[in-house]
């Protein structure tokens, strides 16, 4: 038997496929490069220059929202998630994983969502609407509650779809839950100024009696706080504002569409400082308000001079159309 045939037979006895390519370890240079690559990867992980993440595809029904999540899940709907629905349908999958942590105290769930409520809602909606094969992509982390809060805040701070009120209420909850009510410490931890944080806390602290005036409270913005907060002091103004808010709540329930936020604030401001006189205005350089017999503002006369009248109609301040027409007629008759 030739030496070549002897080697062939020996390979067969040893269970080696003679036609197969030689293993990397038997090919000069290849095994060494693979091992070097693995060692380099381990070194990067050890030094922290590369972070290893655990991503899994899971059933969204096995995930619950974290109690400290800064988004009101109940407000999510097809309209608010439309962009995400179309993106996932176009890609055929969820590209960006949600951040979750494992649940140990609830057999109904395996994870709780720290960041990614819209992604969770969207995958759930798609599975119920002709895309049953979609699964929820998650990035599993080990986080304390305070770490989870800061991570969720950082991810959502620049998102336009998270309302100022949702963010404000999350900050107020976190202030006591993680920072013992110390606003300065919290501002440092989330890397914002105290004044910036204060405006959000003021929004979250607006009393329920006032919030009743807004059919869609989520439309309130930080910029509105500076106009609303001064209306609540002293106590007599506060009570007039609360009474007007209750009236506006009833008005809102009878309207097909909610009143715009600026109109509501204007009505609350007029209730806080009602005009001290009624009837026709005197000729002066100061704006004066004409009110109904019931004290509801109807018209604001901005100026009266030789050129005529400059006035503003106040249609959402509580007066009726008939009262406004009567007040306008009286002005015309006088001038």
| Beta-carbon-side half-sphere exposure of residue 244 (alpha carbons within 13 Å) | 27
* pLDDT (average), residues 308-329: 78
Residue with tokens 């309207």: 255
**pLDDT score for 37:** 59
**pLDDT score for 130:** 94
pLDDT tens for 105-123 read 899 999 999 999 999 999 9
**pLDDT score for 242:** 96
**pLDDT score for 51:** 55
pLDDT tens for 259-314 read 899 989 988 988 888 765 544 444 555 677 887 766 678 888 877 766 777 888 88
How many residues make up the chain in this entry? 335
Structure tokens at 128: 């119920």
**pLDDT score for 36:** 61
**pLDDT score for 90:** 95
User: If you write DSSP's letter for every residue of 188-253 in order, what string do you get?
Assistant: HHTT--HHHHHHHHHHHTS-HHHHTT-SSGGG--HHHHHHHGGGG-SHHHHHHHHHHHHHHHHHHH
Average pLDDT along the chain? 82
Q: Domain 55-143+151-157, what architecture?
A: Alpha-Beta Complex (3.90)
**pLDDT score for 17:** 45
Q: Binning pLDDT at 50, 70 and 90, where does residue 83 land? A: very high
Q: How far apart are CA 187 and CA 195, in angstroms?
A: 9
**pLDDT score for 13:** 39
Strands (E), the chain: 54-58, 63-65, 98-102, 111-115, 136-140, 288-291, 297-305, 308-313
Domain coordinates in residue numbering, the chain: 55-143+151-157, 163-205, 208-272, 288-334
Is it the case that residue 329 has pLDDT exceeding 60?
yes
Is it the case that residue 183 has pLDDT exceeding 90?
yes
- Top-confidence range, 12-21, 127-136, 150-159: 127-136
Contact 224, 251 (CB under 8 A): no
Q: How far apart are CA 74 and CA 209, in angstroms?
A: 22
Q: Can you name the residues that pair with 288 across neighbouring β-strands?
A: 301
Residue with tokens 């308000």: 289
């Amino acid at each position: 038997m030739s030496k070549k045939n002897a080697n062939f037979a020996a390979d067969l006895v040893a269970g080696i496929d003679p036609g197969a390519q030689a293993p990397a370890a038997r090919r000069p240079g290849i095994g060494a490069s693979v091992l070097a690559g693995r060692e380099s990867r381990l070194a990067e992980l050890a030094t922290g220059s590369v972070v290893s993440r655990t991503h899994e595809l899971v059933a969204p029904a096995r995930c619950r929202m974290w109690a400290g999540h800064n988004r009101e899940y109940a407000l999510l709907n097809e309209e608010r998630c439309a962009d995400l629905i179309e993106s996932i349908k176009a890609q055929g999958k969820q590209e960006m994983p949600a951040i979750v942590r494992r649940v140990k105290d609830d057999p109904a769930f395996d994870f709780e969502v720290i960041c990614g409520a819209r992604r969770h809602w969207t995958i759930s909606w798609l599975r119920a609407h002709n895309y049953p094969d979609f699964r929820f992509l998650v990035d599993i982390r080990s986080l304390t509650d305070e770490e989870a809060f800061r991570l969720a805040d950082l991810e959502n701070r620049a998102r336009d779809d998270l309302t100022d009120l949702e963010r404000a209420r999350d900050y107020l909850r976190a202030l006591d839950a993680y920072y013992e009510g110390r606003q300065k410490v919290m501002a440092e931890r989330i890397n914002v100024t105290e004044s910036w944080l204060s405006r959000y806390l003021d929004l979250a602290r607006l009393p329920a009696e006032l919030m009743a005036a807004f059919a869609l409270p989520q439309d309130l913005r930080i910029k509105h706080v500076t106009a609303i907060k001064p209306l609540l002091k002293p106590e007599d103004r506060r009570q007039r504002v609360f009474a007007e808010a209750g009236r506006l709540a009833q008005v809102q329930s009878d309207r097909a569409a909610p009143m715009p936020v600026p109109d509501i604030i204007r009505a609350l401001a007029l209730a806080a400082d009602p005009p001290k006189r009624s009837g026709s205005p005197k000729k002066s350089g100061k704006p004066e308000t004409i009110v109904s017999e019931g004290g509801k503002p109807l018209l604001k006369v901005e100026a009266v001079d030789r050129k005529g009248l400059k006035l503003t109609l106040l249609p959402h301040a509580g007066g009726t159309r008939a009262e406004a027409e009567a007040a306008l007629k009286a002005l015309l008759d006088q001038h």
